Amino acid sequence: MVRVKVRLVNERKGISRTIIALVEGGAESPVPVVMVSSEDAKALGLDLSRDFELIEVELALGRTCELVSRSRFKVELLDGDDNVLSNTRAYLIVSANLNEPLMTDTTIDELGIQVISFRRGLWRHVNDPSDFIRRSAFPFAS
């Protein structure tokens, strides 16, 4: 599995949170989306009842309702030394069924993540030399 370190930024409140997100090419969205826990959303200073709306979304297992942020947030892809490789703006989805944060295909493309091997957790950034290989980030201990 490929996991990357990203920093979510709530620019209006000057708050950020760094997470390890699963690069999930099978999770499709027409716009950039990062799925996070309610704890991550609250750490960004967000109120689940005020800053999110409940909408129906289509998943591989069928339709369900999820909390989607009313606005986009800055998402920064970080290297191992916390340098910003690229960034985009994405909606946040808070899902009660989420085991770990993940990003959708559109987010992956906009951040310039190129998966070399899902099984071995290998990837590179679009601006990396063709022979440069990055390894999957390890999930933070809880």
pLDDT tens-place string over residues 61-103? 677 788 999 999 999 999 999 999 999 999 999 988 788 999 9
- The domain of 68 spans 3-135
**CA quadruple 95, 83, 109, 18: dihedral, nearest 10:** 0
Overall domain count for the chain: 1
User: The domain that contains 130 carries what CATH number?
Assistant: 2.40.70.10
| 94 found inside a domain | yes
Residue 66 within a domain:
yes
> Is 96 inside any structural domain?
yes
So what's the pLDDT on residue 27? Answer: 82
Q: Is residue 67 part of a domain?
A: yes
Give domain status of residue 124, yes or no.
yes
142, part of any domain: no
27 occurs within a structural domain: yes
Predicted pLDDT of residue 96: 80
| The pLDDT value given to residue 5 | 97
Which are the contacts of 91, defined by CB distance < 8 A and separation ≥ 6?
31, 32, 33, 34, 68, 69, 71, 72, 73
- Please say if the pLDDT value at position 60 is more than 80: no
Contact 94, 44 (CB under 8 A): no
Q: What is the pLDDT of residues 12-59, one digit of tens each?
A: 999 999 999 999 877 888 899 999 999 999 999 999 999 999 988 776
- Asked whether residue 19 is assigned to any structural domain, the reply reads yes
The Cα 54–Cα 64 span in angstroms is 10
